[in-house]
Structure 1
């Protein structure tokens, strides 16, 4: 019996160990899919901000290693930091693999864009970087360090200009200038170094020595005179791809790509990648993510804090999928977050060119369907908060705003209002007030910070009219101002989506679209702490990203709907059709994480989702003086006529409804 017991015990122990092992692997597999948010500072597994700016990544063994810049407040070199991760999200800090104490010339200097490559022949890790003397950027040298492990202390070999002994000079010094740089290992094991030269006018591609520690030859001068920097070189399906940025200092610009089947020649033209600011980022590195389902490619970029006056250590990261639509067509879509499965080798994302799914964590905080017979003055004010005039030639009057048949309508008239002064002085100039129109706003009745703003509108299509839907700062007007849309009606196929910020700065967008006067369309803005996105009928048409566009993340705003006449728009003329108005079907504002305003069914006073004799009795009691309507929802349900008062008209409407059921 004792032997049997021991045998059973041993078997149980083995089973437990097996299950534990299986469970561990299963847990890892399940944890493989991670979500990475964009436009933020990443943090390591200890909760500290990751400083790997201008960095590069390699995959070695089970880990991805990420190396990048760590600087002080004067932007001097404090170290090259190393992090490692299995899933590209949870990064373990491994230390500073290169420090000011590593060599005398690293004591006070600038080190930028460190990139590490693994040499399978020598089994060493070799780092290339851009080095400057800390005084000016005239040295423009490459620098090299190496190590036997990916996260050990690297030995600093020194800095130099490529081809320094060849007799060439570049801006007065021997050798070629070398600034923004990257490395590449071809499928045959040959190593390459690419960097900006000739004061960033050209890109130079160098073949490295077999140990990757020196320059063997200059392979090609690429895009001479094109001012490209931040190069990233990759290979896929026997095609080489070069991704670069323009040269605009800290401010982001349009990334471009080119392709070739030969590193030395045959490169295509440069093609745009991403939007006009590369989503407010600059390329740093492209890392293949290889797994059981194939290989995806991850764009890693820096959102440099220098663009908004910050230090390098305040910079943020933008990581996006690099999509190959074909061997010669690349796409870089933006998403607020991406999902990476390093086991499968997949990168997925929500297409942010489509309006957000409002059922996913968004609360409806403002809504008006204009179903009454007059403007709901609990939600809206007539005119502008400051008066009856704005930057155009119309004097606004309440009588030019009407609500009927579920539609808000603002009409303009070819006449001076009797209360209008001769002129109005605005920040856009002085205008004579020869016309009458209307405007409404939500100031002091609905003010908000960030959200998804949408409305369904139909534009007039006649010369002289300028309809707008926009937000203004609750603490004193403009700036900031977000224009959900502005339409100059002599050109109804042009949609203006603008943002005004700072003391005098503006971010202008305009798009050619279908004639907006032919039908109702849904116009929307997603206003976040990091970006503004504009949508037309659910499709993104423009965007502005935080910092270089100084998004007004903390400003309370209110809504304005108006119909201007003249001003920025062409003045009315003999062709102007004054019978056309500016119409709005509905307006809504949603906010992430907010509670939605209660749904109100007219007549359902007790909120049981039915309109019946119980509601009739409650309304009768209220009209007889018994305050049974305890909350705003009940009062809205009792106001069947939607005229802002609860009276005999509402009682008659409810009685009529119940008799006709």
Structure 2
């Protein structure tokens, strides 16, 4: 049930109420669940352009990209993200298909905002999917693009920031209990990529639990009802809240890049597995039982602290649901500038297209995109210089 902050009681209540009824433009602004801002309520302001009540009949595709680039062991398809009766639905279905050289069995829904935010309070009211195990509803923030860099206070160069407000129902293997987690375990984790000696190095919850990992043992089943999940990201700490109560916090080491607010429903065991540092589909476990399954989102609301100097609400590109593309130059100038650096898929395709045209080859975009999938071995959406060097060396060796 959507709620908004109450009107203060005073002698002018009646005329104000009449004025509000007469003018829908004077709608009340929501307040966070709980007493998140109790120490400094005047410091916070509601960010309407990054918030959404999902009350319209269709997804606001000027705000949300529901046709993003594909990653992982499933594919995103826009028809799996839709709105009905004031709720955003993100649906996963069983559908065999091929992406590049990979045979896959599931498609799902995602909604990622075009605008970015760094610091603020981010809140969503979410109901998990019925299926467990097998799918993980997520509310998260992540940076995008190799052009983003941040120098952390410890001297590290940060190339990627990700804050998982929640990943529900993951059911991951627990090294302490020696068994898979139950549906009551809610993951509130952090991920980052650092540049060390010119190479990208992932900093993940499994390898750096002291700085990146939080497990919340819920007293409820997230599949059964809606709950409110939130995170405050400020310059000093990342702080997680569930139903208005703080459940975890970590020092903010590497989470200072502009990030996209994202809702998604991802595939999990037994339909995928981790192997050689990456995810692989387990096609022999494919089934239609339990599918389709849906994650439901009642609203997303964002506030920012007026006293914090933040990189917030910065548009990347808005194009009615089309994939976000990075502006690139053509020809040898592009090739020389990005050859030794990390590249997004759109940058790689642009570089290869310029090469093909300069050599007089008939353009084959499908082939180039398939090559990118092979190069991006860690499925992070970026082809690093090291990944490309290894791939080209392997191709060259195969021609001998």
Compute the TM-score of the two structures, normalised by the length of structure 1: 0.32
Which residue of 119, 123, 129 corresponds with 1:450?
119
Alignment-derived partner of residue 250 in structure 1: none
Any conservation in 2 of the 1:396–1:438 contact (CA below 8 Å)? yes
Matches of 2:249 and 2:65, distance apart in 1: 30
Is 1:434 the counterpart of 2:105? The answer is yes
Matches of 2:258 and 2:113, distance apart in 1: 12
**How far does residue 518 in structure 1 lie from its aligned partner after superposition?**
0.7
**Equivalent position SS for 1:453:** strand
Alignment-derived partner of residue 202 in structure 2: 504
Alignment-derived partner of residue 363 in structure 1: 45
**Equivalent position SS for 2:71:** coil
Any conservation in 2 of the 1:456–1:586 contact (CA below 8 Å)? yes
**Equivalent position SS for 1:414:** strand
**How far does residue 569 in structure 1 lie from its aligned partner after superposition?**
7.2
Matches of 2:263 and 2:287, distance apart in 1: 26
Q: Indicate how the Cα distance of structure 1 residues 382 and 579 shifts in structure 2: closer, same or farther if over 3 A, else same.
A: closer
**Equivalent position SS for 2:79:** helix
| Residues 568-590 of structure 1, C-alpha deviations (whole Å, 9 max, x = no match) | 97666659411431110100111
Which residue of 411, 415, 423 corresponds with 2:95?
415
Any conservation in 2 of the 1:466–1:487 contact (CA below 8 Å)? yes
Is 1:561 the counterpart of 2:263? The answer is yes
Alignment-derived partner of residue 495 in structure 1: 186
Alignment-derived partner of residue 77 in structure 2: 397
**How far does residue 538 in structure 1 lie from its aligned partner after superposition?**
0.6
Alignment-derived partner of residue 534 in structure 1: 240
Matches of 2:289 and 2:246, distance apart in 1: 32
Is 1:373 the counterpart of 2:57? The answer is yes
Is 1:586 the counterpart of 2:322? The answer is no
Any conservation in 1 of the 2:105–2:286 contact (CA below 8 Å)? no
Any conservation in 1 of the 2:135–2:267 contact (CA below 8 Å)? yes
Any conservation in 2 of the 1:475–1:556 contact (CA below 8 Å)? no
**Equivalent position SS for 1:413:** strand
The answer to which structure has the higher helix fraction is: 2
Q: Indicate how the Cα distance of structure 1 residues 524 and 381 shifts in structure 2: closer, same or farther if over 3 A, else same.
A: same
| Residues 149-173 of structure 1, C-alpha deviations (whole Å, 9 max, x = no match) | xxxxxxxxxxxxxxxxxxxxxxxxx
Any conservation in 2 of the 1:457–1:521 contact (CA below 8 Å)? yes
Q: Indicate how the Cα distance of structure 1 residues 422 and 467 shifts in structure 2: closer, same or farther if over 3 A, else same.
A: farther
Is 1:460 the counterpart of 2:129? The answer is yes
Equivalent residues in 2 for 1:624-639, closer than 5 Å: none
Matches of 1:461 and 1:360, distance apart in 2: 40
Equivalences, count? 225
Any conservation in 2 of the 1:464–1:576 contact (CA below 8 Å)? no
**Equivalent position SS for 1:369:** coil
**How far does residue 442 in structure 1 lie from its aligned partner after superposition?**
1.0
Any conservation in 1 of the 2:170–2:268 contact (CA below 8 Å)? no
Q: Indicate how the Cα distance of structure 1 residues 564 and 442 shifts in structure 2: closer, same or farther if over 3 A, else same.
A: same
| Residues 310-364 of structure 1, C-alpha deviations (whole Å, 9 max, x = no match) | xxxxxxxxxxxxxxxxxxxxxxxxxxxxxxxxxxxxxxxxxxx963348432111
The answer to which structure has the higher strand fraction is: 1
**Equivalent position SS for 1:399:** helix
Q: Indicate how the Cα distance of structure 1 residues 361 and 569 shifts in structure 2: closer, same or farther if over 3 A, else same.
A: farther
**Structure 2 runs not aligned, ≥5 long:** 1-33, 149-158, 172-181, 195-200, 205-211, 273-281, 309-400
Q: Indicate how the Cα distance of structure 1 residues 512 and 576 shifts in structure 2: closer, same or farther if over 3 A, else same.
A: farther
Matches of 1:569 and 1:493, distance apart in 2: 20
Alignment-derived partner of residue 486 in structure 1: 167
Any conservation in 2 of the 1:458–1:521 contact (CA below 8 Å)? yes
Q: Which has the larger radius of gyration?
A: 1
**How far does residue 415 in structure 1 lie from its aligned partner after superposition?**
1.0
**Equivalent position SS for 2:93:** coil
Matches of 1:573 and 1:518, distance apart in 2: 25
Matches of 1:458 and 1:525, distance apart in 2: 17
Q: Which of 1 and 2 has higher RCO (CA within 8 Å, sep 6+)? A: 2
